[in-house]
Structures are given as structure tokens and as C-alpha cells.
Amino acid sequence: MPGLDYYKTSESSEVATAPSVAESVVEETNSTVSETSSPEIPKAGVYYNPRLDPKNFLEGPLSWDAATRLRQLLARPGIVIAPGICDGISARCALEAGFDCLYQSGAATTASRLGQPDVAIATLNDFVQSAQMVCSLSPTTPVIADADTGFGGTAMVARTVYQYARAGVAGMHIEDQVQTKRCGHLMGKQVVSREEFVTRIRAAVIARDSIPGGSNFVIIGRTDSAQVLGMEEAVARLKLAADAGADVCFIEGVKTADLLTSTVEALAPKPVLVNVISGGLTPSFTCKEAEALGAKIIIFSLVSCVAAVHGIRAAMQSLKKTGTDFSSAKGMDPKAFFEVMGLNDIVSLDAQAGGSAFDLV
């Protein structure tokens, strides 16, 4: 069924009496990016869905629904820390460490599933299949998933939302790079026009709002324009994304603490996500530092797959040199390994069901 129209102009509805920032932002930034910025976007009204107002998620126990739980975490005090996971093993390790939110990195997914770099090689199916597996490991733990550019036009953006939500993903971010995108911390990025970026966000929001039953799926607008058109344009784009219904704003490649602070202030009250990659464009903020600077979500995109490269490299080199995996195993036998993968839960389930398949393992 079609989604309800939450895009109201101030003339037609009281819920949008606050003036749209779209026109003021465009006017403010045209002087600094006039040679590269897109034409002004016609005022289409500010999105507002009263059901998704953050104040509705301030109180009560944390929900069993992952998307609702993510909204609760966003509405309440404290920064949301989401380590990047690349496969089932890294997801299990993150859960074992006690993280209450996970991040499915596009770069990590491309590397783990395809053995390829993050240059628009992985497809929607690759991302969804990975998400289905990760979300099944702990269905109540929110997973934020990279959705790249939405994998196509508005219909594909909507299809991405439907498939991610069905897989159990709590929220996704969609960016303004061209379809042949690349990792946000590589050089040579190209971005689409403001209009196309906002169209992607609006398509995602409409798709979310058309899910029967009222989905709490979180839409995160990401811009990669800071390195291409400058920080002012990046902030302007995120303000437009917020007007179009983005629940969270994600500015890629914030190079200093001062820029992060000013971005948070400019986008308030929308929560801001910061992406930390060691050796990348953004300083290696700690969780406490990012929280003090005003960020609401911090993701560490490559924490698992870079560690995996180091660990697996060392193990392979040791095996090649010594002819045994004894030292790299560090005393972990098969049963101990399987226990990290949830063996005890399976044994317990079988016993509760009256089975005897795992009486001895």
C-alpha cells in the first residue's frame, strides 16, 4: 500500500510550521560553492511523522524489535557505539564483547564476501544475504547497514529498504556518491546533485513508511561531498536530507574535532554519525571524545576486517614457516572455537526439546 504523505508545507499543515531550512541553506552556501553546486531545490515541505518523534522513545524498557531499540538508543543519553563487522565470526566476537549495536560495513562486506575492494562491486543481494545472517545471530541487537547509493534509482532505493527491513536490519545509510562509488576514505570521489541525493532519501523514507504495520526502520543520510565540494556544501546537503526525512545525518571524512563540533551544532537536533577508520580521513576519535564533541553514533567500519587481515596473515606465515598451526591457535581447540559461535545455545536448545544429539560434544 502507498505510504502516507508526511511531506507537508507550512501552508497546509500545522505539523510543519517551522520554516524549511532548504531554501536558506541553498542561499547561504551558493556564494561559496556556486561553481559546483546544483540549482536550488524547490521547497517541498519538511517531513514529519509524529509516530517517529524521538520523544516517543525516551521511556520504557528497551524493545525486542531491533529498529525500535535503535530509536530508543538514539533518543536516550549516551553515544551509540557500533563496531564494524565483516562476517559471522566478527559478529559473534562483537556480541561476546558486549556491544549493543553492530555496523555492517560495505567495505567489510565486499572484502569478506567477494575478496574485492570497496569500489561498487558488491550488489544488493550480497549486502542482504550478509545482513540476514548477521541479524539472525541476535535479532534484538540493532544492526546498522551500509546501503551505498541505494543500488539504482528510486525503485531500487525502495527495494533496498524493503529487503533490509525484512532481513532484520534496524537502519541503513544511503549516500550521495555516483553509482560507481568508492570507499569514503579513498580519493577521487564524485557526487550526484543535491536533487538526486534528496530524491534518494525521500524514496527511502516513503518506502519505510509504506511497510505495513508501521516500521521504525531508521534512515541515515550520508554525504561524501566534504572532500569534493567543501564542508559548507556537505552540511547544506545533510540539512536538505533531514528535511526530506533522514533520521540521522552522516558526514563522511570530517577531518578535525572543530569541524565535527560545528557540524553537530549546524544539524541539531538531528543526531550525527561519525565514521572512524584508523589511517583514514577522520581522526581516530575515541568513543568518549566523539561523544564529548556531540556525535550520537560512532562506527568503526574496518575494526574487524583489518584485524582479521593481520591475524590471518600472521597465522598463514607461521604455518608456512613452521609447518604447524599450533602457535597461532593459542590453545583454542575446536570446541572452544564453536562455543564462540554459539555451540552452548544449540546444546541447550536440543536438551530443552528432549533431544539427545548433543549429550556428548
Domains in the chain: boundaries: 54-308, 328-353
Catalytic site residue 103? yes
pLDDT given for residue 10 in this prediction: 43
pLDDT given for residue 189 in this prediction: 92
Catalytic site residue 175? yes
Catalytic site residue 49? no
pLDDT given for residue 16 in this prediction: 38
Catalytic site residue 126? no
Listed as ranges, residues in the chain with pLDDT below 50 are: 10-43
Overall fold of domain 54-308: TIM Barrel (3.20.20)
- Residue 289 is given by DSSP the state H
pLDDT given for residue 46 in this prediction: 93
pLDDT given for residue 44 in this prediction: 53
Tell me how far apart the alpha carbons of residues 283 and 117 are, in angstroms, rounded to a whole number: 22
Q: Which of 148, 176, 233, 247 is catalytic?
A: 148
pLDDT given for residue 37 in this prediction: 39
Catalytic site residue 275? yes
pLDDT given for residue 6 in this prediction: 76
Q: Which residue, among 44, 58, 53, has the nearest Cα to 13 in the 3D structure? A: 44
Alpha-helix runs per DSSP H in the chain: 21-33, 66-75, 88-97, 106-114, 124-137, 154-167, 194-209, 226-229, 231-244, 257-267, 287-292, 303-322, 326-329, 334-340, 343-352
Q: What is the pTM of this model?
A: 0.88
Catalytic site residue 125? no
Q: Which of 47, 86, 101, 118 is catalytic?
A: 118
Catalytic site residue 185? no
pLDDT given for residue 184 in this prediction: 85
pLDDT given for residue 14 in this prediction: 38
